């Protein structure tokens, strides 16, 4: 089998890899900031359907995709303002309801959304190399933000909101930024999906996609953007691994993976790799100056360490 045949045989997995990487990062952004939201899946569907509807109405597909992503950012910002007082499980349930309500609308909007069958025959406007470029750009942006004051403030907000506020971090603003970023990334992933598969159905952006996204970030590791990318790649290629009788049970396998990682490896593949690396290097954990405990053993210590970063020392408002 030559390279061209190998490429064509795995084209779906290659396209899914780019889509899942962006989708996984959309989950990572909100979870990194301590925002328990699944609204990005709803915006995945909104952007996908909007692009498909406009493209079938003879709007240039690239323009339709751009309009859809910008609209996701605007709607996500407004939606984030409306739910800014919700926390934890309540926010998670509210955003799940948001996704399910959109599914009902897709099924009952008649010829606009194609009903239960969805929309087919959407022009393909993003070749594989464009999907790769988008995934790389998104990854680089998240990497840069994670290393800057925004990433540090997200982490501090997740660890302890009260302590984060005490060191000058505007928690409400950071939560809103994370929510809006996640909405935009979810929209980008939806646009990539519609272009790749030239169709979208009401089941595409549903509860199964929420489970899939959570599996990605938990499998790779919620503590780092690298883990989110690794999780997206692994889940994209899982159907190629599940051969024979196991293939119809992919959703069940995803659930088992999610449960196993939460129980046995809560830091994911990235955490396992980091632990192996540290053991190989045999470097002892740094000792905090105030109690002899390893640094980072408490949220207060972690937030205090984040507060000592140059952005806060210089008086910058995070």
What domains are there in the chain, each with its CATH number? 13-313 (1.10.3470)
Q: Which of 9-23, 91-105, 165-179, 288-302 has the lowest mean pLDDT?
A: 288-302
Q: What is the dihedral of CA 52, 73, 189, 318, to 10 degrees?
A: 180
What's the pTM value of the predicted model, to 2 decimals? 0.84
Q: Considering just the CA atoms, what is the radius of gyration of the chain in Å?
A: 21
> Residue 32's closest CA among 221, 216, 170?
221
Residue 59 and residue 127: Cα distance in Å, rounded?
18
Q: Give CA 166 to chain center in angstroms.
A: 29
Residues 6+ apart with CB under 8 A from 229: 21, 24, 25, 139, 220
- Output the pLDDT for position 61: 93
Q: Helices (DSSP H) in the chain: which residue ranges?
A: 3-9, 11-32, 39-56, 61-82, 88-108, 128-147, 149-159, 161-166, 171-197, 207-220, 225-241, 250-264, 268-281, 299-307, 310-313
Mean pLDDT over all residues of the chain?
A: 84
The pLDDT of residue 147 is above 50:
yes
Q: Are 245 and 73 in contact (CB under 8 A)?
A: no
Residue 270 and residue 63: Cα distance in Å, rounded?
37
Average pLDDT (84-98) is: 89
Q: How confident is the model at residue 161 (pLDDT cuts 50, 70, 90)?
A: confident
The pLDDT of residue 312 is above 50:
no
CB atoms within 10 A of CB 24: 30
């Amino acid at each position: 089998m030559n390279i061209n045949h190998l490429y064509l045989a795995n084209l779906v997995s290659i396209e899914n890899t780019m889509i899942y990487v962006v989708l996984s990062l959309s989950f990572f952004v909100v979870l990194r900031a301590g925002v328990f939201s699944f609204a990005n899946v709803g915006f995945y569907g909104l952007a996908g359907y909007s692009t498909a509807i406009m493209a079938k109405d003879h709007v240039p597909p690239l323009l339709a995709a751009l309009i859809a992503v910008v609209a996701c950012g605007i709607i996500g910002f407004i939606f984030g303002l409306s739910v800014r007082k919700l926390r934890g499980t309540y926010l998670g349930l509210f955003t799940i309801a948001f996704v399910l309500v959109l599914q009902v609308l897709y099924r009952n909007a008649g010829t606009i959304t194609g009903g239960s069958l969805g929309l087919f025959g959407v022009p393909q406007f993003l070749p594989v190399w464009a999907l790769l470029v988008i995934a790389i750009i998104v990854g680089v942006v998240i990497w840069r933000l994670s290393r800057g004051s925004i990433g540090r403030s997200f982490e501090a907000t997740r660890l302890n909101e009260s302590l984060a506020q005490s060191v000058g971090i505007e928690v409400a603003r950071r939560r809103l930024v994370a929510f809006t970023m996640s909405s935009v990334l979810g929209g980008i992933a939806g646009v990539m999906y519609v272009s790749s598969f030239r169709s979208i159905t009401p089941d595409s952006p549903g509860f199964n996609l929420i489970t899939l996204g959570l599996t990605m970030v938990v499998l790779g590791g919620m503590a780092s953007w690298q883990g989110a990318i690794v999780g997206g790649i692994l889940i994209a290629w899982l159907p190629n691994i599940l051969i024979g009788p196991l293939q119809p049970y992919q959703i069940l396998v995803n659930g088992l993976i999610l449960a196993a990682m939460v129980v046995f490896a809560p830091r994911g593949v990235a955490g396992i790799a980091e632990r192996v690396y540290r053991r190989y290097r045999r470097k002892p954990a740094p000792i905090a100056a105030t109690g002899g405990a390893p640094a980072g053993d408490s949220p207060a210590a972690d937030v205090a360490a984040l507060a000592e970063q140059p952005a806060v020392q210089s008086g910058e408002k995070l």
